[in-house]
């Protein structure tokens, strides 16, 4: 249990020291961060609109820009390797080393390159922006994603008036399967909408992230209140229109985590150990209720009670994973459908599936038990830091700190200071709630290890290690 700085028995903080408020980042760097987040979270939209070749060029250009920015930041303010998340480094190194024992080396090379590019982008956002700027960048990117999705669905339903198929992502000369449509034009007929990402579960998860971000923005008043309220309304509307059962359950899980945090915040530090068992029991109860209600809930949303075939997919992948249980088959991120064993491994209604629909099972398949352990350490380390950031009272320095340029090049820790508690900030909930959403979704989707979700994981793992406490003047005073 971590002690509070307000404990009279504690003469000085026994935790990460406070940081001073940051100077604003250059506008160009913030715009690049917004575009990186938009592209990573909305990668399926770019792929459907431009096709894979143009999407790869776009990713390469953004990655190059991130590398240039990181090199300049490092030249101005070198960051020791010890300041990065060690489990994150271990996971990336293990992915890279798997080229040695991979059953499909060429595909592993592609997967490793993709993983490193995504990680670089996440580190760029974490190092370049403050927590408030990350909140605003996420908010801007998610507004574009949700706004364009609603406009796209309106255009298809009102103007086109029939299904719109995206260019076939892997073979542009053949038509995609009948159940693979960019939009089914369901906005006015009561069906589920898919948005510009072409999948209702992916759009619903973006909505869940948006609800977290927009609500924190509303509380912290980092945007005009009317704007925040309108966009929360848009997010709730799209949540209802996606009719995603898995994200509905994820929303309940995130809400439960938030309630537990708010309760723990009101409990004195010395008595918090009493609360934690009840929190775990509540989580188990929530899972049990979810499983018991799935027979009734999923059919109401036109979903099967077996998570739309995911159980069969998991069984198939697990049987394959146990053939190489220690180090796995080799990293590949998205499955490469042109190599064994992924070639036609999972085909449902003519659609070739390129993931296990469970990030943990996918990691086990690709990196074995060793990879599963390292990945679990990454989630656990990030989760613990995010938890303390959410529940510990922030500290305000008792005297003006000496200027100290930090690892991010924008701010840094002060010398040993005695701090006094200040009111909680809503932004301190951001890492924990986003991580909770990512982890809950990872149970039914493998997105946590690819593209936007992995970028968010890298962003959180890096930022909570470098800058774990958003101290200084509360964001509400920064208007």
pLDDT in tens, 12-57: 333 433 333 456 667 788 899 999 999 999 988 888 887 778 888 9
Backbone φ and ψ for 413, nearest 5 degrees, come out as: -70, 150
pLDDT confidence of residue 443 = 85
The region of weakest confidence among 23-37, 172-186, 232-246, 442-456 is: 172-186
Dihedral sign for Cα atoms in the order 240, 245, 247, 251: positive
Average pLDDT of 340-344? Answer: 86
Mean pLDDT of 368-372: 96
Residue-level pLDDT at 220: 86
Q: Residue 150: what pLDDT?
A: 93
Average pLDDT over residues 408-415: 41
Q: Is the pLDDT of residue 176 over 80?
A: no
- Residue 402 pLDDT more than 50? no
207's tokens? 């909505």
CA–CA separation, 151 and 165 (whole Å): 17
Q: Is 80 exceeded by the pLDDT of residue 193? A: yes
Averaged pLDDT for residues 422-451: 88
Region 7-15: mean pLDDT is 38
Residue scoring higher pLDDT (413 or 226): 226
Distances from the Cα of 240 to the Cα of 7, 109, 148, 467, angstroms: 45, 40, 17, 36
Which has more confidence, 172 or 68? Answer: 68
Which residues are registered as beta bridge partners of 420? 396
Q: Is the pLDDT of residue 414 over 60?
A: no
Q: What is the pLDDT, as a whole number, of residue 286?
A: 67
Q: Which segment, 201-210, 290-299, 340-349, is predicted with the most confidence on average?
A: 201-210
Confidence of residue 67 (pLDDT cuts 50, 70, 90): very high
Q: Which of these ranges, 63-72, 132-141, 179-188, 426-435, has the smallest mean pLDDT?
A: 179-188
Look at residue 10 in the predicted model and tell me its pLDDT: 37
Tokens of 398: 């008792």
Instruction: Give, as one character, the DSSP assignment of residue 304.
Output: -
Domain boundaries, the chain: 27-474
Q: Is the peptide bond before 116 cis (omega within 30 degrees of 0)?
A: no
CA distances from 417 to 264, 379, 469 (A): 26, 30, 14
Q: Return the top range by mean pLDDT from 67-76, 279-288, 313-322, 359-368.
A: 359-368
Which residues on adjacent β-strands are paired with residue 413? 19
Cis omega (within 30 of 0) for bond into 264: no
Please say whether the beta carbons of 48 and 36 come within 8 A: no
For residues 426 and 216, the answer to whether their CB atoms sit within 8 Å is yes
Q: How far apart are CA 91 and CA 375, in angstroms?
A: 6
The CA radius of gyration of the chain, in Å to the nearest whole number, is 23
**Mean pLDDT value across residues 206-235:** 92
- Model confidence at 477, pLDDT cuts 50, 70, 90, reads very low
Split at pLDDT 50, 70, 90, the class of 413 is very low
Going by pLDDT thresholds of 50, 70 and 90, the confidence category of residue 383 is very high
For the stretch 346-355, what's the b/e string if a residue is b when 16 or more beta carbons lie within 10 angstroms of its beta carbon? Answer: beeeeebbbb
What is the pLDDT, as a whole number, of residue 366?
Answer: 95
Whether the predicted pLDDT of 423 surpasses 60: yes
Lowest-pLDDT range, 140-149, 218-227, 280-289?
280-289
Whole-model pTM: value is 0.85
User: In the chain, what percentage of residues exceed pLDDT 70?
Assistant: 77
Of residues 58 and 187, more confidence is placed in 58
Angle at 250 between CA 249 and CA 252, to 5 degrees: 65
pLDDT, position 204: 92
C-beta neighbour count of 362 within 10 angstroms: 29
Q: What is the C-alpha separation between 36 and 65, in angstroms, rounded? A: 10
Query: Mapping DSSP to helix (H, G, I), strand (E, B) and coil, where does residue 183 land?
Result: strand
Task: Give the model's pLDDT for residue 175.
Answer: 58
- How sure is the predictor about 462, in pLDDT bands with cuts at 50, 70 and 90? very high
pLDDT, residue 23, reads 62
Contact by Cβ (8 Å): 145, 38: yes
């Amino acid at each position: 249990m971590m002690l509070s700085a307000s404990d009279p028995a504690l003469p000085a903080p026994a935790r990460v020291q406070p940081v001073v408020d940051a100077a604003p980042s250059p506008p160009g760097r913030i715009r690049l961060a917004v575009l990186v987040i938009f592209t990573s979270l909305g990668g399926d939209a770019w792929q459907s609109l431009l096709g894979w070749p143009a999407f790869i060029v776009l990713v390469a250009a953004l990655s190059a820009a991130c590398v240039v920015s990181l090199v300049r930041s490092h030249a101005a303010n070198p960051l020791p390797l010890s300041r990065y998340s060690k489990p994150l480094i271990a996971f990336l190194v293990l992915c890279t080393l798997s080229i040695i024992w991979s059953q499909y080396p060429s595909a592993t090379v592609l997967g490793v390159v993709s993983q490193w590019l995504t990680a670089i982008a996440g580190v760029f956002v974490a190092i370049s922006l403050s927590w408030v700027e990350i909140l605003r960048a996420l908010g801007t990117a998610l507004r574009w994603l949700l706004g364009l999705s609603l406009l796209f669905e309106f255009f298809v339903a009102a103007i086109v008036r029939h299904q719109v198929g995206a260019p076939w992502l892997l073979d542009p000369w053949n038509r995609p399967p009948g159940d693979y449509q960019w939009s089914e034009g369901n906005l006015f007929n009561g069906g589920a909408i898919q948005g510009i990402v072409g999948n209702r579960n992916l759009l619903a998860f973006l909505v869940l992230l948006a609800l977290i971000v927009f609500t924190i923005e509303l509380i912290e008043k980092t945007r005009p209140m009317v704007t925040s309220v309108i966009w929360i309304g848009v997010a709730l509307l799209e949540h209802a229109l996606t009719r995603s059962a898995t994200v509905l359950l994820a929303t309940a899980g995130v809400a439960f985590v938030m309630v537990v945090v708010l309760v723990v915040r009101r409990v004195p530090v010395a008595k918090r150990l009493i609360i934690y068992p009840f929190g775990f029991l509540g989580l188990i109860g929530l899972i049990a209720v979810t499983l018991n209600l799935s027979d009734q809930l999923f059919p109401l949303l036109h979903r099967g009670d077996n998570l739309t075939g995911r159980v069969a997919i998991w069984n198939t992948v697990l049987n394959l994973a146990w053939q190489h249980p220690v180090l796995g088959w080799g990293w590949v991120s998205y499955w490469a459908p042109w190599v064994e064993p992924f070639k036609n491994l999972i085909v449902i209604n003519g659609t070739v599936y390129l993931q296990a629909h469970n990030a943990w099972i996918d990691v086990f398949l690709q990196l074995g038990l060793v990879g599963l352990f390292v990945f679990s350490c990454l989630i656990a380390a990030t989760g613990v830091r995010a938890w303390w950031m959410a529940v510990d009272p922030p500290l305000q320095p008792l005297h003006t700190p000496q200027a100290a340029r930090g690892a991010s090049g924008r701010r840094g820790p002060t010398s040993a200071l005695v701090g006094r508690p200040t009111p909680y900030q809503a932004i301190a909930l951001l890492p924990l709630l986003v991580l909770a959403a990512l982890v809950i979704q990872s149970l039914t989707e493998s997105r946590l290890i690819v593209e936007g979700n992995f970028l968010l994981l890298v962003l959180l793992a890096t930022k909570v290690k470098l800058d774990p406490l958003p101290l200084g003047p509360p964001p509400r005073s920064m208007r």
